[in-house]
């Protein structure tokens, strides 16, 4: 499987990653609502809890959209997805520690962390829009710190940016022809036909 085929397989399996971005946007927006209705500290817990549900819910959403929700075994880009997840998990304690100093810094920290992870999605899915998504999230995080933005503003900023890019990514994914069983991993070179045996 070539890199291009592996990227197509990932796009086919997970709807170009759009399903995950949409679920992540919902988690951010839910955290914003919790920040308004309860407290910024509760919003931190809400985003962390919601983050744990992103993968399983995005797989369900991909399947509900007619995609397999799983890539072809042996896809050479699968380790990149796992490594990005591990890096994210190792970064969460740092963001939480920052929130213990100033709770409003948690969301900018998460915007930068998640924005950085989305840069790798450009290679994972072969979709350049992830560069723009990552850059917007990271820039929003740095701007919020600069402007002393509230935790609520940070949560809603993350949700709004990801929701906008989810629409873009779904649009990109819909333009690519796909049928069940047409993932790159299922495409194998046809066996050359044997010449007919002459009598």
* 192 inside domain: no
* 113 inside domain: yes
* 191 inside domain: no
Q: Which domain holds residue 39?
A: 3-179
- pLDDT tens string 127-176: 999 999 999 999 999 999 999 999 999 999 999 999 999 999 999 998 88
- Quote the pLDDT of residue 1: 81
- Over residues 18-35, the mean pLDDT reads 96
- Confidence class for position 65, pLDDT limits 50, 70, 90: confident
* 189 inside domain: no
CA angle (23 as vertex; 35, 113 as ends), nearest 5: 70
- Quote the pLDDT of residue 39: 95
* 186 inside domain: no
* 145 inside domain: yes
- Quote the pLDDT of residue 175: 86
Q: What is the total count of domains within the chain? A: 1
* 110 inside domain: yes
* 185 inside domain: no
- pLDDT tens string 111-120: 999 999 999 9
- Confidence class for position 82, pLDDT limits 50, 70, 90: confident
């Amino acid at each position: 499987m070539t890199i291009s085929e592996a990227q197509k397989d990932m796009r086919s399996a997970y709807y170009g990653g759009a399903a995950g971005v949409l679920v992540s946007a919902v988690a951010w927006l839910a955290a914003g609502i919790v920040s308004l209705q309860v407290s910024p500290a509760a919003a931190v817990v809400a985003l962390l809890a919601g983050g744990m549900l992103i993968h399983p819910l995005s797989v369900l959403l991909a399947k509900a959209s007619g995609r397999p929700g799983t890539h072809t075994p042996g896809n050479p880009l699968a380790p990149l997805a796992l490594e990005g997840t591990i890096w994210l998990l190792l970064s969460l304690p740092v963001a939480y520690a920052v929130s213990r100093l100033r709770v409003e810094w948690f969301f900018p920290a998460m915007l930068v962390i998640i924005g950085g992870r989305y840069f790798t999605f450009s290679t994972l899915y072969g979709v350049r829009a992830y560069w723009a998504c990552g850059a917007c999230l990271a820039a929003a995080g740095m701007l919020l710190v600069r402007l002393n933005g509230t935790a609520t503003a940070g949560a809603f900023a993350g949700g709004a940016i990801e929701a906008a890019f989810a629409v873009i990514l779904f649009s990109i994914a819909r333009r690519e022809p796909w049928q069940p069983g047409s993932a790159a991993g299922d495409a194998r070179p046809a066996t050359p036909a044997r010449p007919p045996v002459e009598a």
